[in-house]
């Protein structure tokens, strides 16, 4: 098993990408347009993986390097799937696909299945299907939560063999996707327990109790942000509470911008930017009519991208003002790579220009770049990796559930 030092290097590598993506945020977003646009080379040391639920531990859902398709893609492959329950993780030549009944490892080139887990055993006390969360892949281990009281599973990334599991209680589920945090993996439960577990053993390093079900986690290098369905945001350090804020609705998304604060998307209460530094936790701005933010926000090149069932919007990171908008039923969390945002919903997958298209200043037109129809609806968002988009679709009476790689 790799050392904690190697895991710190992993966090630093992915975190460096996030830092690069936000390094220009102190300047005008307009000045950043095109820095990593169409045709820009991908640096040799850039990651082309999507290893965590929302790309990095900060949950930015953004790789600043242009590793996704910029033109309308076609299918590299698509295979039969099941009910999707989380965003796909992609590391190296393997895509880890969370479904209601199983977690599947597929070859990124062919879609061929390498292994799957999910079947019940005599030793499991299960209640319904696992409904696997979005997996977090750190070094050679996959960390994935369940909704059938199996707790958090640590699986060998190559074989799917279980290394350990953490079960917080007989009547508790781990529905919140895990994120790496310092020397452990951070998890949250539906009865308000937050824990950081040792990577190798699953033993708790520290725990903290919040009020209500844990809905979101994000870790910006030194402290853990926690969102709850009760509408509260906590900032925790080494098992201690630093601050706590009550917002205007259930926390649907958290994303962190270094030391400059945290962005929170709520159900019915808009999108908030909360301060870091000396004014920690205070509201910098609130976009009351902001998108509901299904599952995640994307912090990309000075733009905060959010989606809901009526539209996708790009908000200015400094003010919360709308820079661009695309009408549509976008019930999936957004992702972004280079100069492109990728949106999922009833119309399939839509690509948008992060800068909002053509125009001067905040008057922008033509944000939509292309759209592609697929069988079923991509409800859990796309992952941008290996020059392709990976996603699973939810079927209905007219379409079956599928798993796609499009390039």
Angle, alpha carbons 67-42-90 (nearest 5°): 35
Rounded average pLDDT over 31-35: 33
What would the two tokens of residue 286 be? 């609130």
pLDDT computed for residue 205 by the predictor: 97
Rounded average pLDDT over 23-32: 33
Query: What are the beta bridge partners of residue 63?
Result: 337
User: Looking at per-residue confidence, does 273 or 182 come out higher?
Assistant: 273
For residue 295, report the phi and psi dihedrals to the nearest 5 degrees: 90, -35
Architecture of domain 4-406: 8 Propeller (2.140)
pLDDT computed for residue 29 by the predictor: 31
pLDDT computed for residue 22 by the predictor: 41
Which of the four pLDDT bands, split at 50, 70 and 90, describes residue 9? Answer: very low
Task: Spell out the SS3 assignment of 116-131.
Answer: EECCCCCCCCCCCCCC
Residue 125 in this model has a pLDDT that exceeds 90: no
Least confident segment among 110-119, 319-328, 345-354, 364-373: 364-373
| Cα–Cα distance measured from residue 38 to residue 169, given in angstroms and rounded to the nearest whole number | 50
Rounded average pLDDT over 4-30: 42
For residue 333, report the phi and psi dihedrals to the nearest 5 degrees: -65, 145
Which of the four pLDDT bands, split at 50, 70 and 90, describes residue 292? Answer: confident
User: Looking at per-residue confidence, does 20 or 133 come out higher?
Assistant: 133
Residue whose C-alpha is closest to residue 115's, from 162, 153, 150, 78: 162
Rounded average pLDDT over 256-274: 90
Residue whose C-alpha is closest to residue 251's, from 238, 269, 237, 273: 269
Residue 278 in this model has a pLDDT that exceeds 70: no
pTM above 0.75, yes or no: yes
Rounded average pLDDT over 325-342: 96
pLDDT computed for residue 208 by the predictor: 97
Residue ranges covered by each domain of the chain: 4-406
| Cα–Cα distance measured from residue 239 to residue 195, given in angstroms and rounded to the nearest whole number | 8
What would the two tokens of residue 219 be? 């870790």
Residue 15 in this model has a pLDDT that exceeds 60: no
pLDDT computed for residue 49 by the predictor: 98
For residues 54 and 379, the answer to whether their CB atoms sit within 8 Å is: no
- The pLDDT tens digits of the residues spanning 374-400 come to 999 999 999 999 999 999 999 988 889
pLDDT computed for residue 163 by the predictor: 98
pLDDT computed for residue 399 by the predictor: 87
Write b or e for each residue in 374-390: b if 16 or more Cβ atoms lie within 10 A of its Cβ, otherwise e. bebbbbbbbbbbbbbbb
- The pLDDT tens digits of the residues spanning 65-116 come to 999 998 999 999 999 999 999 999 999 999 999 999 999 999 999 999 999 9
pLDDT, averaged across the chain: 87
- The pLDDT tens digits of the residues spanning 197-225 come to 999 999 999 999 999 999 999 999 889 99
Rounded average pLDDT over 288-309: 91
Residue 151 in this model has a pLDDT that exceeds 50: yes
- The pLDDT tens digits of the residues spanning 134-145 come to 999 999 999 999
């Amino acid at each position: 098993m790799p050392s904690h030092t190697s895991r710190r290097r992993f966090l630093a590598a992915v975190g460096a990408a996030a830092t690069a993506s936000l390094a220009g945020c102190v300047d005008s977003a307009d000045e950043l347009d095109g820095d990593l646009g169409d045709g820009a080379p991908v640096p040799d040391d850039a990651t082309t993986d999507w290893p965590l639920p929302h790309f990095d531990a900060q949950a930015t859902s953004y790789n600043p390097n242009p590793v996704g398709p910029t033109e309308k893609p076609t299918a590299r492959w698509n295979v039969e799937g099941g009910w999707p329950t989380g965003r796909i993780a992609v590391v190296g030549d393997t895509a880890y696909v969370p479904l209601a009944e199983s977690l599947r490892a597929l070859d990124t080139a062919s879609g061929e299945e390498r292994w799957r887990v999910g079947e019940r055993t005599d030793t499991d006390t299960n209640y319904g299907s696992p409904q696997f969360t979005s997996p977090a892949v750190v070094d050679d281990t996959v960390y994935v939560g369940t909704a059938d009281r199996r707790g958090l599973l640590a699986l060998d990334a190559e074989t799917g063999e279980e290394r350990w599991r953490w079960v917080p209680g007989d009547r508790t589920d781990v529905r919140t996707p895990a994120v790496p945090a310092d020397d452990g993996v951070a998890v949250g439960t539906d009865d308000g327990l937050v824990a950081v577990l040792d990577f190798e053993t699953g033993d708790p390093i520290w725990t903290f109790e919040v009020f209500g079900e844990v809905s979101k986690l994000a870790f910006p290098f030194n402290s853990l942000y926690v969102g709850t369905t009760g509408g509260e945001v906590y900032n925790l350090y080494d098992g201690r509470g630093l601050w706590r804020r009550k917002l205007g609705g259930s926390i649907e998304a958290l994303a962190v911008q270094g030391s400059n604060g945290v962005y929170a998307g709520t159900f019915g209460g808009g999108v908030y930017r909360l301060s870091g530094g000396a004014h920690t936790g205070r509201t910098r701005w609130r976009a009351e009519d902001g998108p509901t933010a299904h599952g995640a926000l994307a912090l990309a090149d000075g733009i905060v991208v959010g989606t809901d069932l009526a539209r996708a919007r790009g908000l200015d990171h400094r003010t919360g003002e709308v820079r661009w908008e695309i009408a549509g039923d976008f019930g999936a969390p957004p992702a972004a790579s280079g100069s492109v945002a990728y949106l999922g919903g009833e119309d399939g997958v839509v690509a948008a220009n992060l800068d909002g298209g053509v125009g001067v200043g905040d008057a922008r037109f033509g944000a939509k770049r292309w759209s592609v129809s697929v069988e079923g609806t991509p409800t859990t968002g796309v992952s941008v990796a290996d020059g392709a988009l990976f996603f699973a679709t939810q079927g209905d009476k007219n379409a079956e559930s599928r798993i796609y790689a499009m390039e």
